[in-house]
A and B are shown apart, each in its own frame.
Chain A
Amino acid sequence: MMTRASKDTLTIALPKGRVMKQALKIFAKIGIEPLENMEESRKLIFDDKKNGLRFLVVKPTDVPTYVEYGAADIGVAGKDVLMEQERDVYEPLDLKIGRCRMMVAEPAALSAKDDPSQWTSIRIATKYPNITEKFFASKGVQVEMIKLYGSIELAPLIGLAERIVDLVETGETLKQNGLVEVEEIMKITSRLIVNRASLKIKGARIAEIIEGLRKEVEGS
Chain B
Amino acid sequence: MVQTEITLPKGVRDVLPERTAKRNALIRNIVSVFEGCDYREVTTPFLEYLDVITQGAGKDLKKRVVKFTDRATGRSLSLRPDFTPQIARIVATHYREKKKPVRLSYHGSVIRLAEDASGGQKELYQAGVELIGAPSPDADAEVISLAIELLKASGLNDFKIAIGQVDFVRGILDEADLSQSDRAKVLDAISKRDSTLLNEMSTTLTHGDLLIPFQTLLYLFGGEDVLYRRDEKKLITNQRSRDALDNIRTVYESLKHKNLSNYVSVDLCEIRGFDYHTGIIFEGFVNGVGSAICGGGRYDNLLASFGYPSPATGFAIDLDILMLAIERQG
- Chain A interface residues toward B at CB < 8 A: 4-5, 7, 67-71, 86, 88-94, 130, 191, 194-197, 199-201, 203-204, 207, 210-211, 214
The residue of chain A having its C-beta at the shortest distance from the C-beta of B159 within the complex is A201
The residue of chain A having its C-beta at the shortest distance from the C-beta of B272 within the complex is A196
Decide if A200 touches B192 in the complex (CB within 8 Å): no
Shortest CB–CB separation between residue A71 and chain B, in angstroms? Answer: 7
Cα A68 to Cα B291 with chains together (Å): 8
Residue of A69, A94, A130, A196 with most chain B CB atoms under a 10 A cut-off: A196
Decide if B192 touches A203 in the complex (CB within 8 Å): no
Contacts of B218 in A (CB 8 A): 92
Contact partner of B194 (CB less than 8 A), chosen from A67, A91, A211, is A91
Contacts of A89 in B (CB 8 A): 192
Decide if A197 touches B193 in the complex (CB within 8 Å): no
Cα A210 to Cα B196 with chains together (Å): 13
Contact digits for B108-149, partner A, Cβ 8 Å, 1 yes 0 no: 000000011100000000000000000000000000000000
Decide if A201 touches B291 in the complex (CB within 8 Å): no
Decide if B265 touches A201 in the complex (CB within 8 Å): yes
Contacts of B289 in A (CB 8 A): 70, 197
Q: How many residues of B contact A (CB 8 A)?
A: 28
Contacts of A90 in B (CB 8 A): 192-194
Choose the segment among B8-16, B74-82, B201-209, B219-227 that binds chain A (4+ C-beta atoms closer than 8 Å).
B219-227
Cα A196 to Cα B191 with chains together (Å): 10
Decide if A94 touches B193 in the complex (CB within 8 Å): no
Interface check B285, CB cutoff 8 A: yes
Cα A91 to Cα B195 with chains together (Å): 8
Shortest CB–CB separation between residue A118 and chain B, in angstroms? Answer: 27
- Chain B interface residues toward A at CB < 8 A: 115-117, 158, 160, 162, 192-196, 218-219, 221-223, 265, 267, 283, 285-292, 328
Contacts of A93 in B (CB 8 A): 195-196
Shortest CB–CB separation between residue A79 and chain B, in angstroms? Answer: 9
Decide if A201 touches B285 in the complex (CB within 8 Å): yes
Decide if A203 touches B288 in the complex (CB within 8 Å): no
Shortest CB–CB separation between residue A179 and chain B, in angstroms? Answer: 28
Decide if A203 touches B265 in the complex (CB within 8 Å): yes
Decide if A130 touches B223 in the complex (CB within 8 Å): no
Decide if A204 touches B328 in the complex (CB within 8 Å): no
Interface majority SS on A: helix, strand, loop or mixed? mixed
Decide if A197 touches B265 in the complex (CB within 8 Å): no
Shortest CB–CB separation between residue B36 and chain A, in angstroms? Answer: 27
User: Other than the known A93-B195, A94-B195, A197-B292, what 10 A-B pairs have Cβ atoms closer than 8 Å?
Assistant: A4-B288, A4-B328, A68-B290, A70-B290, A88-B115, A91-B192, A195-B290, A196-B292, A199-B193, A200-B265
Cα A199 to Cα B269 with chains together (Å): 12
Decide if A86 touches B219 in the complex (CB within 8 Å): no
Q: Decide yes or no: A200 and B221 within 8 Å by CB, A90-B193, A91-B192, A130-B117 being known contacts.
A: yes
Contacts of B192 in A (CB 8 A): 89-91
Decide if A203 touches B222 in the complex (CB within 8 Å): yes
Cα A197 to Cα B161 with chains together (Å): 10
Decide if A207 touches B222 in the complex (CB within 8 Å): yes
The residue of chain B having its C-beta at the shortest distance from the C-beta of A6 within the complex is B287
Contacts of B328 in A (CB 8 A): 4
Residue of B193, B223, B328 with most chain A CB atoms under a 10 A cut-off: B193
Cα A192 to Cα B175 with chains together (Å): 30
Contacts of A210 in B (CB 8 A): 219
Contact partner of B285 (CB less than 8 A), chosen from A5, A71, A130, A200, is A200
Q: List 26 A-B contacts (CB under 8 A).
A: A5-B288, A7-B158, A7-B287, A67-B290, A70-B289, A88-B115, A90-B192, A91-B192, A91-B194, A92-B194, A92-B195, A191-B196, A196-B285, A197-B287, A197-B289, A197-B291, A199-B193, A200-B160, A200-B221, A201-B265, A203-B221, A203-B265, A204-B222, A204-B223, A207-B221, A207-B222
